[in-house]
Amino acid sequence: MPRITLPDGSVRQFDAPVSGTEIAADIGSGLAKAALAIQVDGDLRDLAGVIEQDANVAIITRESEDALELLRHDAAHVLAEAVKELYPETQVTIGPAIENGFYYDFAREQPFTPEDLERIETRMREIVDRNETIVREEWDRDEAIRFFRDWGEEYKAEIIDSIPQGEVVSLYRQGDWIDLCRGPHLPSTGKLGKAFKLLRISGAYWRGNSDNEMLQRIYGTAWPSEKELKAYLHMLEEAQRRDHRRLGVEMDLYHFQEESPGAVFWHPGGQRLFQRLIRHIRERQEEAGYVEVDTPQIMDRSLWEASGHWEAFRENMFTSQTEDGRLFALKPMNCPGHVQIFKNGPVKSHRSLPLRIAEFGKVHRYEPSGALHGLMRVRAFTQDDAHVFCTDEQITQEATAMCDLILSVYRDCGFEDVRIKFADRPPLRVGTDDIWDKAEQALRIAIDSTGLRYTHNPGEGAFYGPKLEFVLRDAIGRDWQCGTVQVDFNLPQRLGASYVGEDGARHTPVMLHRAMLGSIERFTGILIEHFAGHLPLWLSPKHAVICTITSAADDWAREVQASFRARGLLAEIDLRNEKISYKVREHSKAKAPVILALGKQEADMGTVSMRRLGSKEQRVLTLDEAVDLLAAEVVGRVNP
RNA sequence: GCCCAUAUAGCUCAGUCGGUAGAGCACUCCCUUGGUAAGGGAGAGGUCACUGGUUCGAAUCCAGUUAUGGGCACCA
């Protein structure tokens, strides 16, 4: 006789096992109509699921947060049903809900085309209109295997085959279509609604393994309401509008070309932005007690063998064979070089620890061709890399200081929303448990000091030590993993670094790896997208463009430019024989943060007419006022 | 690396059935000195990504290569 406790604390007593449908109906007819599923003691179940024992039950409706996943999962099923109806020769595999949508992987000789996608989507809408009842069935495992194999669904059979013997498997039937699925599902296809859209077709490996055959994946998005669907599609458009590959061309920042895939040709504007970032990081880390070094671009194979890179990452390294037969490798990381500086530098004892070594090190990694993506994934990039050599006791304080510095640099750059991921000891590792305890504890204290929430990734640490990863959320809600703090017990020892401790004996230092922006190339891309090209003045590759309205103002324009330059402001001058609106349009498109329009009036009065990017407002200021205003904004690193 | 798609002027893109290329913007010159997102005119600019094949003839059809795009896998 189940006693059902509802979320508001009220209790309903039933005198027989009761289904979610019945509970919802018992509460009210409106709810019965809106009900999509139930949550029983925290687990989502089908609405038709029967409850025999006392339980806490919540009715899930369209508005519930948990409804999203159900909806999307159902959308995947409806997609599969549509595909099977239209292309019966296709085999179905798996189709889960994912962030923002769903996908389904199919095995079919012929590739799906964009036209197929339209047909499929139309059929999906028909299936929703049919409002097919979705029914859960429990089958005997072997019977299910036989069933799918007879039907030609080898993939499904294989999935069930990997389910332990004797276990019951659940199938869901909707109309003529039946699919293996853990569930839960909506009560009928009509409940899905029409706020979905198929987005793209792509390849995906069977079971995510690149040794397996390639399937065809159809991606879609699904939402509770048309309004939310629109909002999401709008976000996608917005992302496209902000695409750094597009803006990078419009702003004349950089280009790529075939002869050097994955390597950036920085144009003067891009180089300026790049160097402003470096300048800022340099300043901030000098305050924090780092020293800057520079280590060789190529080093002999033997060093990479000693560091372990040769064994683990050889495939990702560029190498160069010289006339004398030596094999050199371009550095994929800076750490081995920094250990050399530790070994050959001034540090001989614990008295001069910690040693904080930083380098804007350019590294080369032979990334798989399919991974390359604008500035976001390249083969040659610059890291704001640093390594802190310290004693075991110093790990905590150093890690804490790193977190502070990293977060503060993110704030400088306009990122307030930051998350941390904490990855602790993996099964395969070096170092004693004692040391791991200490290192993990140190990182935990460091996170706590930031006051930020963090997610815990158990067992995901590197073999040489635990790590923190810093994730930035940008202006349109996308996450970018940038910074990292890693404890390393391995490399200093491998490369023979040591210091004399208080006890007069030799000890191996601990090494902390740190990157803040990570790849500066990539961070540049993130910044462009975050600000949609409207970079803050202090980072912008140009500050002001001085445009004349008539040639009578040419001399004044030159004077204004000179005054700007004298105060460190980057000022271009546009004296062309074009209308002011033409010039405004052109420089606005190129994302000039400030446009100064100078005509006869300004020349006579010693003023400038100032217009900021993204605004139509014009302010007339004296030259000094304008210079002071903008210079203060640059020095103060003001973000919009 | 894998699947699918794409590659034509600096940029964005047309180019039918195979008959050796076109537009808009940008660029150069001329006219216009115009007050805040395109004033007018003229001109120059192309090994149709590359290599090979089919064909009397290839931007167009076929194959391979390279790069790019969307994913997958990878990201030490």
Which DSSP string corresponds to A511-568?
EEEEEEEEEHHHHHHHHHHHTTT---TTT-S--EEEEESSGGGHHHHHHHHHHHHHTT
- Strand A97-98 relative to strand A101-107, pairing: antiparallel
Residues 162-221/A with CB within 7 Å of nucleic chain B are 200-205, 208-210, 214, 216-217, 219
Nucleotide nearest to A601 (CA to C1'): B35
Helix (H) or strand (E) holding A150: helix A141-150
Residues 451-470/A with CB within 7 Å of nucleic chain B are 462
Protein-covered nucleotides on strand B (Cβ within 7 A) = 1-5, 11-12, 31-39, 66-76
Nearest to A556 by CA among A587, A618, A611, A602: A602
pLDDT of residue A18: 86
Residues 389-418/A with CB within 7 Å of nucleic chain B are none
Determine the Cα–Cα distance for residues A313 and A321; give it in Å rounded to an integer: 18
- Is there a contact between A3 and A12 (Cβ–Cβ < 8 Å)? yes
Determine the Cα–Cα distance for residues A271 and A322; give it in Å rounded to an integer: 31
CA(A587)–C1'(B46) in Å? 29
Residues 580-619/A with CB within 7 Å of nucleic chain B are 580-582, 584-585, 588-589, 595, 597-602, 609, 611, 613-614, 616, 618
- Strand A454-457 relative to strand A418-423, pairing: parallel
Determine the Cα–Cα distance for residues A611 and A593; give it in Å rounded to an integer: 8
Show me where the domains of chain A are located: 3-60, 67-231, 254-530, 544-634
**Does residue A108 sit in helix, strand or coil?**
coil
CA(A549)–C1'(B54) in Å? 61
* Structure-token pair, residue A615: 């605004």
Nearest to A410 by CA among A380, A438, A384, A391: A384
Q: Which residue matches tokens 């989507």? A: A121
Counting Cα atoms < 13 Å in the Cβ hemisphere of A74 gives 34
- Is there a contact between A11 and A3 (Cβ–Cβ < 8 Å)? yes
Q: Which CATH number fits domain A67-231: 3.40.50.720, 3.40.50.1000, 3.40.50.10800, 3.30.980.10?
A: 3.30.980.10
Residues 285-344/A with CB within 7 Å of nucleic chain B are 309, 312-313, 316-317, 332-333
Helix-strand-coil percent breakdown of chain A, rounded to 5?
A: 40, 30, 30
pLDDT of residue A25: 87
Nearest to A584 by CA among A552, A555, A549, A551: A549
Spell out, as residue ranges, where chain A has pLDDT lower than 70: none
pLDDT of residue A4: 86
CA(A201)–C1'(B57) in Å? 39
Determine the Cα–Cα distance for residues A359 and A343; give it in Å rounded to an integer: 16
CA(A204)–C1'(B71) in Å? 7
Residue range A544-634 forms a domain whose CATH class is alpha beta
pLDDT of residue A28: 84
Positions of A marked active-site:
335, 365, 383, 385, 387, 467, 513
Residues 344-373/A with CB within 7 Å of nucleic chain B are 365, 367-373
- Amino acid letter, residue A10: S
pLDDT of residue A199: 92
CA(A543)–C1'(B25) in Å? 25
Nearest to A511 by CA among A431, A402, A403, A391: A391
Name the protein residue, with chain letter, whose CA is nearest the C1' of B67.
A258
pLDDT of residue A446: 92
* Structure-token pair, residue A622: 């004296």
Nucleotide nearest to A599 (CA to C1'): B35
pLDDT of residue A26: 85
Nucleotide nearest to A333 (CA to C1'): B76
Q: Does residue A544 reach within 7 angstroms of strand B, measured from its CB?
A: no
| Exposure class string for A304-332: b at 16+ Cβ within 10 A, else e | bebbbbbeebeeebbeeeeeeeeebbbbb
Name the protein residue, with chain letter, whose CA is nearest the C1' of B38.
A582
What pLDDT, in 10s, does the model give residues A243-267? 999 999 889 999 999 899 999 999 9
CA(A381)–C1'(B7) in Å? 27
CA(A239)–C1'(B49) in Å? 29
Determine the Cα–Cα distance for residues A173 and A77; give it in Å rounded to an integer: 10
CA(A247)–C1'(B21) in Å? 30
Residues 46-105/A with CB within 7 Å of nucleic chain B are none
Nucleotide nearest to A377 (CA to C1'): B75
Determine the Cα–Cα distance for residues A506 and A500; give it in Å rounded to an integer: 5
Name the protein residue, with chain letter, whose CA is nearest the C1' of B69.
A373
Alpha-helical segments (H) within A288-381: 301-307, 309-313, 335-344
CA(A154)–C1'(B37) in Å? 59
Backbone angles phi, psi at A611, to 5 degrees: -130, 130
- Is there a contact between A250 and A234 (Cβ–Cβ < 8 Å)? no
CA(A145)–C1'(B73) in Å? 29
Domain A3-60 has CATH 3.10.20.30: yes
DSSP letter for each residue of A185-246? --SBGGGG-S-EEEEEEEEEEGGG-TTSPEEEEEEEEE-SSHHHHHHHHHHHHHHHHH-HHH
Give the domain A254-530 fold. Answer: BirA Bifunctional Protein; domain 2 (3.30.930)
**ipTM rounded to 2 decimals:** 0.93
Alpha-helical segments (H) within A431-519: 433-450, 491-494
- Is there a contact between A584 and A611 (Cβ–Cβ < 8 Å)? yes
Q: Which residue matches tokens 């996170």? A: A447
| Exposure class string for A48-78: b at 16+ Cβ within 10 A, else e | bbebeeebebbbbbbebeebbbbbbbbbbbb
Residues 110-169/A with CB within 7 Å of nucleic chain B are 111
Name the protein residue, with chain letter, whose CA is nearest the C1' of B76.
A313
